[in-house]
Amino acid sequence: MYTDVYDLKECGARIQALRKEKGMTQEQLATKLNINTDSLGKIERGIKGFSIDLLIEIAVFFDASLDYIVLGREMQIDVTKQALGFIINQLVDLEKKL
Looking at the structure of the chain, the number of domains it has is 1
pLDDT at position 55 is 96
- 40 within domain boundaries: yes
- 68 within domain boundaries: yes
- Domain enclosing residue 90, as ranges: 8-97
> pLDDT digits over 56-69, tens only?
999 999 999 999 99
Task: Please classify residue 13 by burial: count the beta carbons closer than 10 Å to its beta carbon, then call 0-12 exposed, 13-18 middle and 19+ buried.
Answer: middle
Average pLDDT over residues 62-80: 82
> pLDDT digits over 16-46, tens only?
999 999 999 999 999 999 999 999 999 999 9
CATH number of the domain enclosing 16 = 1.10.260.40
Long-range contacts of 11-16 (CB under 8 A, 24+ apart): 11/46, 11/69, 11/70, 12/43, 12/44, 12/45, 12/46, 12/47, 13/44, 13/46, 14/68, 14/69, 14/72, 15/43, 15/44, 15/58, 15/69, 16/44
Mean pLDDT for all residues in the chain: 90
- pTM score above 0.75: no
